[in-house]
Amino acid sequence: MDFQPNELGYWGEFGGRFVPETLMSPIEELTSAYFAVRDDAEFQAEFLNLLQDFSGRPTPLFHAKRLSEKLGGAQIYLKREDLGHTGSHKINNAIGQVLLARKMGKKRIIAETGAGQHGVATATVCALFGLKCVVYMGTEDMRRQSLNVFRMQLLGAEVRGVDAGAKTLKDAINEALRDWVTNVDSTYYLLGSALGPHPYPLMVRDFQTVIGKEARQQILEKTGGLPDCLVACVGGGSNSIGLFHPFLQDENVRMIGVEAGGKGNNLGEHAARFNKAGGGKIGVLQGTKSYLLQDEHGQIALTHSISAGLDYASVGPEHAFLQSIGRVEYASANDAEALAAFQTLSLTEGIIPALETSHGIAHAVKIASQMSPSKIMIVNLSGRGDKDVNQVQEMIDGTPSS
């Protein structure tokens, strides 16, 4: 199995292109432009060069010894995406797609953002190349992540608040799609996760696989073998697919994606799309067929998570496929577990993780202790937690911090 989608963008029954006709020509244009650079040595060299000199790759693979000892189980290694420029893995995809947009002659970039990390990464690369940048963000997320709003503005981006629905990531994507459909000629839509119509899930995954390629080489160098287990949080699914993909052929490597369990198991209380009892079911949203949180009539449900970046009703179609064939397991960590993991990692390793990442840590903590100390686990430390410090202070102290 080569884990590549077919020409219509399907992995098994998941993926495809479900968009208004107006977007089909731009999407076809994007697809040909992307496939033209996908194996182009010059483009890939330019991409790698920026990852290295602008973003600071390769990111380290760090042995979290104190945490591993404390848990008394598997040796936990952290892939330090938090150390990349702008503080999360989102920069990898932003660099790749901005280079592509430049090739296509697009001068205006639009993006959606949940936690703000993709918005910041996009605004950063647009500033680097002098491109106009508009970022759509739900007003609830703007409240939760006000620091990132200001960062984007400092970088010259215009942040447009979206007041529809739950005022979070899904609503921001709707508004970005409306902008794109209105400004198709001038505008490049820089989607931030492995979601949306083909070719986005493939393209975003490709740009993020640098994480897994580096991690694979680093763990071989450090331990002489492959890891036993990979763990990463899954919102749309870009950091996790980026880590997992280069290991998919390694049959003995177990992989676990961690969704947001929120505050309860009922529809509306979580963002665990693979939780069938909690309302997760196959459907079509925002261009792709995948697992969705929806009611029995096909209306998309509200979701909840303490982390804005995981608070989304759908999941990337490649994840839906990997789940369906049993190659990747999906678990969830709830708000309280993520918050505890946020504090645990800060105290034991001196690393403050993003709240999104904390979900991955929480599950790693849960299962590492049941594994033998000879086992190796890699956790994707997808982003740093500076942006979340105010929110966490509010939750711990029970008082508003500002």
Partner 1 sequence: MANRIDEKFNQLKFDRRGGFIPFIVAGDPNLETTKDLILLLAETGASVIELGVPFSDPVADGVTIQASAERALRNPINVKDILEVVAKVRQAGCETPIILFSYYNPILQFGLRKFAAEAENIGIDGILITDLVPEEAKEFRRLLTERDLALIMLAAPTSSDERLQKICEKASGFVYAVSRAGVTGARIDSSSDAETLVKRLRKFTDLPIAVGFGISSAQQIKEVWQYAEAAVIGSAIVAEIARSNNSLEIVENVRHFVKELLVQ
Give the tokens for residue 188.
Answer: 């490049």
Catalytic residue among 68, 79, 81, 90: 90
Beta bridge partners of 75: 376
**Could you give phi then psi for residue 294, rounded to 5 degrees?**
-150, 160
Contact 116, 153 (CB under 8 A): no
Question: Cα(318)–Cα(206) distance, rounded to whole angstroms?
Answer: 12
State the Cα angle at 153 between 351 and 203, rounded to 5°: 70
Give the tokens for residue 201.
Answer: 């899930």
Closest to partner 1 by CB, 286 or 380:
286
* 382 catalytic residue (yes or no): yes
Question: Cα(312)–Cα(350) distance, rounded to whole angstroms?
Answer: 29
Give the tokens for residue 157.
Answer: 């981006």
CB of 275 to partner 1, least distance (A): 17
Question: Cα(359)–Cα(336) distance, rounded to whole angstroms?
Answer: 10
Contact 155, 188 (CB under 8 A): no
Nearest to 86 by CA among 114, 113, 48, 56: 56
CB of 290 to partner 1, least distance (A): 11
CB of 101 to partner 1, least distance (A): 18
* 112 catalytic residue (yes or no): yes
CB of 121 to partner 1, least distance (A): 23
Give the tokens for residue 284.
Answer: 């079509």
Question: Cα(338)–Cα(289) distance, rounded to whole angstroms?
Answer: 28
Catalytic residue among 55, 106, 112, 307: 112
Question: Cα(267)–Cα(269) distance, rounded to whole angstroms?
Answer: 6
Closest to partner 1 by CB, 131 or 173:
173
Q: By the criterion CB under 8 A, which residues form the site for partner 1?
A: 8, 16-26, 28, 164-165, 170, 174, 177-178, 181-185, 281, 283-287, 292, 294, 296-300
Question: Cα(300)–Cα(294) distance, rounded to whole angstroms?
Answer: 4
Closest to partner 1 by CB, 107 or 178:
178
CB of 300 to partner 1, least distance (A): 4
CB of 286 to partner 1, least distance (A): 7
CB of 202 to partner 1, least distance (A): 16
Closest to partner 1 by CB, 170 or 359:
170
Closest to partner 1 by CB, 13 or 40:
13
Nearest to 18 by CA among 290, 297, 234: 290
Question: Cα(176)–Cα(315) distance, rounded to whole angstroms?
Answer: 18
Question: Cα(47)–Cα(97) distance, rounded to whole angstroms?
Answer: 10
Closest to partner 1 by CB, 147 or 284:
284
HEC readout, 156-186: CCEEEEECCCCCCHHHHHHHHHHHHHHCCCC
Closest to partner 1 by CB, 143 or 178:
178
Q: Which residues are catalytic?
A: 90, 112, 382
